Each structure stands twice: as C-alpha cells, then as structure tokens.
Amino acid sequence: MGTSISDDDWHGSAFADDARGGKDLRTRLYEQGLIPEGHVIARLLITFRSELEGGKQLPSVPFLEVMLFDATGYEDPMVAFNEAKASGKLDLKVVAVAPTKADLFDLFRGFIVDLAPRGWDVEGANWIVG
C-alpha cells in the first residue's frame, strides 16, 4: 500500500457490506479492465484527505488502493491465498482507482468506521445514547 502520511491521531476499524442488487467492487473493476481474470481483492484502502501533502497535489479524493491476489486455477481463492502466504511467495498487485463520491457510496449498503482518539481504548464500555 501507499506510504502512510498519517499522524495516527485516531485509530479503529471499518466494516462494510456489499451493495445488494448491484455489482460488487471486483465485478466493477473487472468490467473496467482494472482486474485481470482470476485475480481477487485481498485488501482495500479507502483514503479521504482534506489537505495537500508537502504542497503536492494528491490523487482525486476519495481514492482507493485495491490490493489484488492472483488465484487463477483455484476453485477457492482463500486456499490459494493461504498457500501462497505460508510458502512466503505472496505476490500482490496494487491498482489505484479514483471513484466519484457517489460511486464509492454505491459500492456498499452499509459502511461503518469506528474510531477512538489515540491512547483511548473503549472496548467493553457501556454505551448510552441520548
């Protein structure tokens, strides 16, 4: 993936569900000629930035870095991935994509980003909404 330009002021996790009734990210990218036959998505980095980095123009925001794994010849891509990882021969390709904001939100029916300020761990806390 790209070089981190983060101060890591916040940390957390993200969760998403593919859109129903539409095309998933892999299918869309395949149809655009960005993913070769037999390749699967192993990781997705979605970047939103509000400032320039060192005065340089950043790619269109938001932008995606899609990490691809070649599972050609395997019925189960996860088996191929685990075998390659175990053998130390995990070869991944990264494709950069600049979707519109509408495209990005059209990919998922639900998208949750769960963040906490650096140093704070609220796992197991009782949440009171009100």
Per-residue pLDDT in tens (0 to 9) along the chain, 130 residues: 444 455 778 888 899 888 877 788 898 899 999 999 999 999 999 888 766 666 676 666 778 899 999 999 999 999 999 999 999 999 999 998 888 878 887 888 888 888 889 888 777 666 676 6
Question: How many domains does the chain contain in total?
Answer: 1
| Secondary structure (3-state) at 104 | helix
For residues 110 and 17, the answer to whether their CB atoms sit within 8 Å is yes
37, part of any domain: yes
The CATH code of the domain that includes 81 is 3.10.450
pTM above threshold 0.85: no
Task: Compute the radius of gyration of the chain from its Cα atoms.
Answer: 17
Written as six digits, the tokens of 120 are 């704070």
Pairwise CA distance, residues 14 & 64, whole Å: 14
122, part of any domain: no
For the chain, where are the alpha helices, taking DSSP H only?
Answer: 25-31, 77-87, 101-107
81, part of any domain: yes
117, part of any domain: no
Burial of 18 (C-beta count, 10 Å sphere; 0-12/13-18/19+): middle
- The range of the structural domain enclosing residue 84 comes to 24-104
